[in-house]
Structure 1
Amino acid sequence: MNASSVSASSASNNGPLLQMLIGASVISSSAVFVRWVGIGPGASAFWRMALAAVILLVLLGQPWRPGRLRAWRPQPRVLALVMLGAVFLAFDLWMWHRSIVYVGVGLSTLLANFQVFVLAGAGALFLGERAGWKLWVGLSLGLVGLALLLAPGWEHMDSRFRLGVAFGLAAALAYGGFLLAFRAAQARRGGTPNEALQWWLCLGCVLVLGLTVPLGGEDMWPHTAHDWLILTAYAAIAQVLGWLVIGRAMPLLPAGIVGLCLLLQPLLAYVWDVLIFHKQLGGLELLGIALSLAGIFLGLARGDQPLFARKTG
């Protein structure tokens, strides 16, 4: 193989990883929008998905073009996987948004991203992915780092804060389930466009949240132009842009690597928490962030299996 072929192959292989990192960076802004908007946490989750569905349909679906929407109908098995992912994602958002309100942008996002352990475990147990020592050491460092981020002042936190932690951890389980289901749908989508799967995902979440949010006594409707603007930006940036990029890269990466890349989301969320909401970080919290970054590095640097192998099963 000549030098130009090696260079082209390297660029092709690095593409999915770069897309995954960009997507994770984009969705790191999600919790900021939730804090900015003036409606309840469940209602903001509903409008995130509802407005994203409209944006996807109008801008990418182009329903006025003959036969366009016919191509957006996935096979029944693929649609079932997407709807399963939608149920998981709806409950993830319902719990995570409450965690954001109760414990803040950075910590809530970090807790929800314990999904990295769900993905790595499922990848090793059910998807036949070999978990090399670098991945397990990386995950261990991430776990210790997350523990250090939780530790300072825990005994002095009120019941609302602790409930927020519980919501964040529960969201992690739902988030992991969503990623696994949607990744399986991606691997089987055939000729169905990625944006079509995103649209069905949004629609499924809207149906679930539309039934569950009113049960919590929340007012579903935004009351100000500011809220509509924030919710539209939330949908367009976090759901449409971020997840279209991630959705294209996800089928090309092993489940553990997907989770480790997405760990950038809570780390960057802490940056926004400090810069925008003036979050104060102590020495133990900074150490926790550093250990989490080391875990990501080890997970991405491991070389014991094909990093960019496409999953087709």
Structure 2
Amino acid sequence: MKTLTPSRKALLMVGVGAVLISFSSIMVGLTRTAPTTTAFYRFLFGGLGLLLIALLQNKPLLNGWKPLGVIIPAGIFLCCDLGFWHRSIHIIGPGLATLMTNLQVFIVAGAGVVFLKENPTKNFFLAIPLAVGGLYLILAPDWQDTGAAYELGIFFSLVSATSYAFYILFLRRSTVSRGADSALGNMTMISLTSAGILSIVIFGLGESFAIPEKKDWVFLLIYGLLCHGLGWLFIAKGIAGIPASLTGLVLLLQPTLAFVWDVLIFDRSFSITEAAGAGLTLSAVYLGSSGMNK
């Protein structure tokens, strides 16, 4: 069997992580907890699961206080991403909100070129608009009739996209600065930091931490441990081994595969246009990654 190069191995890790986090929307849809509470348990269960792995493997979480200068901002941006995304969904619907949030790919690519001095291939620059166009074909049917708060919903989703992009960049920085072996400690601390921030938000808003039924515990545990904890651990392990710009593109697999799981698991009806959009996005992700060293 042919051995994968380090860059291909890193790309595979990010891809596997994207597949795992693509099940997030299914878990969120199945649980009946409030949106902010759902996000809190995602981070709490994911963080505690990663903490247990770190303790069993005797892995250090931090080497001094310096890494917190990257980890804490990553946690803040991750909370902002989810918080503003959830709010934009209530105003402009899940389709348009998800499309707008995934415009992170342009922000991450721009930061990669300008600040990280990355030099993407021509295929990559072609792949980005193709991938976003594919997402448009998938998500456009879910756009709802917009009301007076349309501009506010667009603003929230753009804040979400920017926060998502900065989270990706800070996560990458945390791994680059400390080495690939630090991914477990980084994601543990980011997750628990995010849980702490959201607990303050929930208290401040007077919302409840209650989990309604036993089945909600199951969905939240899967959401936290597998979708968030394991999924982002794979991404954190691979993110330093590929360009930041490519990471943003590969993460577009999340909303695309979420559509595929919806069709396969929940027997969702779909149109030729939506199917073409999924195919286009998947092809674009492959195209964008095809220029890497084999």
Q: Same fold (TM over 0.5)?
A: yes
> 2:54–2:61: 8 Å Cα contact kept in structure 1?
no
Which position in structure 2 is the counterpart of 1:126?
115
How far is the alpha carbon of 1:252 from its aligned partner? 0.5
Q: Is 1:44 the equivalent of 2:60?
A: no
Count matched residues.
Answer: 292
Q: CA RMSD in A?
A: 2.9
3-state SS of paired residue (1:302): coil
User: Rg bigger for which structure?
Assistant: 1
Which position in structure 2 is the counterpart of 1:311?
none
> 1:123–1:255: 8 Å Cα contact kept in structure 2?
yes
Which position in structure 1 is the counterpart of 2:277?
288
How far is the alpha carbon of 1:204 from its aligned partner? 1.2
Q: 1 CA distance for matches of 2:190 and 2:239? A: 15
Q: 2 CA distance for matches of 1:168 and 1:286? A: 25
Which position in structure 1 is the counterpart of 2:20?
26
Runs (5+) with no aligned partner, structure 1: 309-313
Normalising by structure 2, report the TM-score.
Answer: 0.87
Q: 1 CA distance for matches of 2:154 and 2:279? A: 21
Q: Is 1:204 the equivalent of 2:193?
A: yes
Q: 2 CA distance for matches of 1:245 and 1:201? A: 14
**Structure 2 matches for 1:167-206, cutoff 5 A?**
167-190=156-179, 193-206=182-195
Range that drifts further, 273-282 or 76-85: 273-282
How far is the alpha carbon of 1:188 from its aligned partner? 0.8
Match of 1:157 among 136, 142, 145: 145
C-alpha distance after superposition, 1:35-77 (max 9, x if no partner): 1111110110011111122222223224xx9xx57x3223433
Question: In the alignment, residue 49 of structure 1 is paired with which amino acid?
Answer: F
Identity %: 32
How far is the alpha carbon of 1:16 from its aligned partner? 1.3
Question: In the alignment, residue 234 of structure 1 is paired with which amino acid?
Answer: Y
> 1:90–1:205: 8 Å Cα contact kept in structure 2?
yes
Change (3 A) 1:188 1:61: same
Normalising by structure 1, report the TM-score.
Answer: 0.82
How far is the alpha carbon of 1:115 from its aligned partner? 1.7
How far is the alpha carbon of 1:201 from its aligned partner? 0.3
Which position in structure 2 is the counterpart of 1:239?
228
Runs (5+) with no aligned partner, structure 2: none
Change (3 A) 1:224 1:152: closer
